[in-house]
Amino acid sequence: MPKDTIADIKKLLQSTDKLSYAQTEELSALLNQLQLELEKFPPEKKQQAIDIASLTRQKIYASRAQDSQGHDLNDLEEAIVEYEATHPRLVHTIRSICNLLASIGI
């Protein structure tokens, strides 16, 4: 599932005009890093990571649909903070993705 979600997000990146080439490349690199971090996870810890990836995907879809609720990243931020204590590298990657999206108004 995470690989599918990350692949779907990458497809969205290719079709959006909200990102510059550099931003698209940066976000793609961060998604690659996220995928690598997820592959290292023990199976019993993956569900939380999957939930966060799914929430990220929902936010991207909502932003493309111009859904004002989709621009609110507070729930995503809360999920990340909860996860941060036990998974600092993964959280750093996700936070970087969120910061990039926020910097471009998504």
CB 49 within 8 A of CB 41: yes
Average pLDDT score over residue span 86-90 = 83
Structure tokens at 72: 């609110």
End-to-end CA distance of the chain: 23
Distance CA 97, CA 32 (A): 11
DSSP state of 42: -
Q: What does pTM read for this prediction?
A: 0.59
Residues with Cβ within 8 Å of 70's Cβ and at least 6 positions away in sequence, in order, are 58, 59, 61, 62, 63
Q: What would the pLDDT profile of 30-73 be if each residue is shown by its tens digit?
A: 888 988 887 887 777 778 777 888 888 888 777 777 655 556 77
Residues with Cβ within 8 Å of 49's Cβ and at least 6 positions away in sequence, in order, are 2, 38, 41, 83, 87, 90
Domain span at residue 86 reads 2-103
Q: How many domains does the chain have?
A: 1
